[in-house]
Structure 1
Amino acid sequence: MNYCKLGNSELKISEVSFGCMSLKEEVDNVKQLIHLAIDNGINYFDTADLYQQGQNEVMLGNALKGFRDKVIVGTKVGNQLREDGNGWDWNPSKKYIIQSVEESLRRLQTDYIDLYQLHGGTIDDAIDETIEAFEQLKEEGKIRYYGISSIRPNVIREYVKRSNIVSVMMQYSLLDRRPEEFCLNLLQEHTIGVLARGSVAKGLLSGKPVTDYLNYTTSEVKKTIEVLKNVSREDKSIGQTAIQYVLKHPSITSTVIGIRTEQHLLETIATSKLKVLGDEEYGLLKKSNKPAFYENHR
């Protein structure tokens, strides 16, 4: 497994990491998958207080007993569940963040969170107040570093200017190349790590039935997948090549993959052992479609 430094932090993260949102609630299976991931070099596990109304953090905390000093844990905050259980509301206030970290620490059964991320964000937020909350938690030792999870260029720019974020999590794949316009380069220039999610585009780039995706029609998606198959040949799966495409960009620290099965986990881990995607292959993949651009929140 290859490891990359996350931005200007001291965290070295496996280039393929474990997105916990997809985990089902069979506890033994969760422990087995996470322990297998650790045994094979994955050291970053990403969750959120919103997933399964906090139960996802509980499952991860239980599975990491005895392994806490060997792994890097990231979770997220900002979506406040309603008391009646019917959805959630956006709340990036300092009070709510300070309150929420205590609940996440309890569920994760840990004294600190390695990477605490704002789970969204709008340009109308009281951004300085949000930053103040994260900085206070750093001073108190409850979190080591903080970042944001956002695809909004205007929000990302503000946090780059005004905060000490070490990372941005964003959707990025061969079928969602919007970050290539300027977000990835901006973050690279400021030594802020990128955690890529959605690298296989909801499974379209790993074998699921073809359909429309974002601004791409079904026929356009098929064209991209055909190029992906040609580049992959018999050496690797198209899903592995799709992950390699994401990792090829120098701004990417890790691709966070949602894992549900042992087979999927082992195939994902094997990506790190494959020959690096060549420049010619990378060029062919880039030519397989026309990149879209963010239309809103610019």
Structure 2
Amino acid sequence: MNYTTLGTSSDLRISEISFGCMSLGEDDAANARLLHQALEGGITFFDTADLYQKGQNEQTVGKAFKGMRHKVILATKVGNQWRPDGSGWDWNPRKAYILKAVEESLRRLQTDYIDLYQLHGGTLDDPIDETIDAFEQLKAAGKIRHYGISSIRPNVIREWVKRSNMASVMMQYSLLDRRPEESCLGLLEQHHIGVLARGSYAQGLLLGKPPKEYLGYRPEDVQKAAAALQQLATNSRSSAALAARFSLAPPAVKSAVLGIRTSEQLEAALAITTSPPLSPQEIDQLRHLLPPNQYQQHR
């Protein structure tokens, strides 16, 4: 497993393959076994959110790593507030809510601190400076080590780059979602802010799921991309490894966050770590398969 620092403003050394905990089931014991296997395999970065399963996801992660907190880097997210009746959630990036929500996340995760606390979205209508102030206050108090945002919106990302000392941005990036290439990846690299790439498999479309329209690509385009990965695959490098390696190729990207629910998925994720990186020629070949898609909104 390779490890890298998540942005120059942070001291977080994270694994290049991260565990996206959103896919975990409801069996705490089974989840703990899977999370422990991931740690034994070299994965050290685990990402959850207070939104997932109404907090149960944080809770199962906290139970799994009780007594071994020092071995893992825990990331969670805030900003989506569940309604009292459980009918859904509302966006709330206000400082007062964040300062309250973090206490619940700390309790569920059974920890005194969160390594990376992320705003789970964001719009230009947010009180951005107020939200940043909440994160800075939590950082000064030692309740979080670093903060970032989880967003695909270039206009929001630009404002956070200008106004904050964030360590990271989590965003979707894959062979079928190259929108970050237009402006975000270069901007974040320039400012030494680490990118956490999610969606490397494009909902499984790159791994053989029936092709469908996806982010402006036609089903035949999707099929073409999946076939190209299959053609490049070898015994030591599966289509899944190639898809993840494509997401990891830009210098700004520090880790691929993969949703993992089963031991088979974990095995495939760990196999990526021993697969060779894409060569410049292979990257060029894949990038020329299709014209890159671009953001239509939030530019």
TM-based fold match above 0.5: yes
Counterparts in 2 of 1:144-183, with a 5 A limit?
A: 144-183=145-184
**Deviation of the 1:231 alpha carbon:** 1.5
Q: Say if 1:206 and 1:237, in contact at 8 Å, map to a contact too.
A: no
Q: Where does residue 37 of structure 1 map in the other structure?
A: 38
Counterpart of 1:252? Answer: 253
Shift of 1:275: 1.4
Structure-2 residue corresponding to 1:188: 189
Shift of 1:207: 2.6
List 4+ stretches of structure 1 deviating above 4 A: none
Task: Give yes or no for contact 2:19–2:43 (8 Å, CA) kept in 1.
Answer: yes
- If the length of structure 1 is used for normalisation, what is the TM-score? 0.99
Instruction: State the match for 2:77 in structure 1.
Output: 76
Q: SS at the partner of 2:203?
A: helix
**Aligned-partner SS, 2:258:** strand
Amino acid at match of 2:56: Q
2:291 aligned with 1:290: yes
> Structure 1 stretch 205-214 or stretch 80-89: which is displaced more?
205-214
1:208-245 CA-partner distances (Å, limit 9, x unpaired): 22222111111111111111111214432211100000
**Percent of pairs identical after alignment?**
60
Structure 1 distance, partners of 2:277, 2:199, is 20
Q: 1:6 maps to which residue?
A: 6
Could you tell me how far apart the structure 1 residues matched to 2:236 and 2:270 are? 15
How far off is 1:25 after superposition? 0.7
User: Contact 2:3/2:13 (CA < 8 Å) preserved in 1?
Assistant: yes
Cα contact 1:172–1:196 (8 A) shared by 2: yes
Task: Tell me whether 1:218 sits opposite 2:219 in the alignment.
Answer: yes
1:200 equivalenced with 2:201 (yes/no): yes
- 2:148 alignment partner, SS class: strand
CA distance in 1: counterparts of 2:207 and 2:23, whole angstroms: 16
Tell me what 2:279 maps to: 278
Gaps of 5+ in 1: none
Q: Is the 8 A contact 2:237 2:276 kept in 1?
A: no
Structure 2 unaligned residues grouped into runs of 5+: none
Deviation track 1:263-282 (CA, whole Å, cap 9, x = no partner) reads 11011111111112111111
Q: Which residue of 2 aligns with 1:104?
A: 105
Displacement of 1:59: 0.3
Number of equivalences: 298
